A and B are shown apart, each in its own frame.
Chain A
Amino acid sequence: MKAKVHVMLKKGVLDPQGEAVRHALGALGFSGVEGVRVGKEIELELAESDPARAEEMVREMCEKLLANTVIETYRVEIEP
């Protein structure tokens, strides 16, 4: 079973990388880009075959390591 974790900075936390990307897009002539946030995606291959148990486990992984919940939020996607 595969799982994907999307990690993003919390709303309200300034994202310097997103800002730099936004400026670069403007320099390339893309006008009207009002905001850019840069996050990351983590793909996991799991031996677990039960989606509910897999999600529970991945959420625990997020809380303990994959995300820093002081500044980041995460979203878990289980792929059948």
Chain B
Amino acid sequence: MKAAVIVFPGSNCDRDLADAFERASGRRPAMVWHKETEIPAGTDIVGIPGGFSFGDYLRCGAIAARSPIARAIVDFARRGGMVIGICNGFQVLTETGLLPGALMRNAGLKFICRTEPLIVETTDSPFTRNYARGEEIRIPIAHHDGNYQVSEAELAALRDADRIAFTYAHNPNGSVGSIAGVLSENRRVLGMMPHPERRVDPAQGGTDGLRLFTSIVDALAPA
């Protein structure tokens, strides 16, 4: 598996994400600076890390979503490429329009940093195939703007198409439908606020996040 991790000014989970990809695949990802205009040839999956790209100026992820590499990410995804955006990366994906909805200030207005129980809502995706549907996993969240909002019609459409990947067991931030992660229509783009890359080693308090990365590796492996 050849992964590419995007680095914006203000990204701070890029190395953790690269380590998680490497742990699952045995291969060191390419680190791609935001000024690049192309995704490296042969890339299987692009990871957009958490952090505070461009200082969260204007809106979280807004400036990053208009950077040169964002155009390349959109083209890559439209060609069927796999993309995962975590936390700020999820915000970037909604700002590019690759995923529906928007992430607003947490309903309680506070930055929340703690480990939350999540429910795996679908295993029909290259990111969740190694989990069980309905399984509860524990993954850390660390965000101020994780309150996912979509219109009622879009929410119904997401549910009908089984595009909700994860929900919170106890909604921490006001997200509609307790949504923690959503899939694109072709199921090859995932955005999620929780940080699976922070639960890949027992020393981090658990390994519930590792199966997301091994799912990707297995999905890419020839049958």
Contacts and interface: CB of A to CB of B under 8 A. Distances in A.
Interface stretch (B26-34, B105-113, B199-207): B105-113
A16 B66 contact: no
Interface stretch (B7-15, B16-24, B94-102, B131-139): B94-102
Contact of B109 (A13, A20, A68, A70): A20
B171 interface: no
A66 interface: yes
Contacts of B59: 68
A69 to B, nearest CB: 10
Interface in A21-80: 64-66, 68, 70-71
Contacts of B223: none
A20 B66 CA distance: 31
A14 interface: yes
Nearest to B66: A65
A74 to B, nearest CB: 12
A71 B149 contact: yes
A13 B149 contact: yes
Nearest to B107: A16
A47 B108 CA distance: 42
B107 A70 contact: no
B102 A16 contact: no
Contacts of A66: 58
Contact of B102 (A20, A64, A65, A68): A68
Contact of B66 (A13, A17, A64): A64
B49 to A, nearest CB: 21
Contacts of A13: 104, 149
Nearest to B104: A71
Contacts of A16: 104-109, 147, 174
A17 B95 CA distance: 21
Interface of B: 58-59, 62, 66, 94-95, 100-102, 104-109, 147, 149, 174
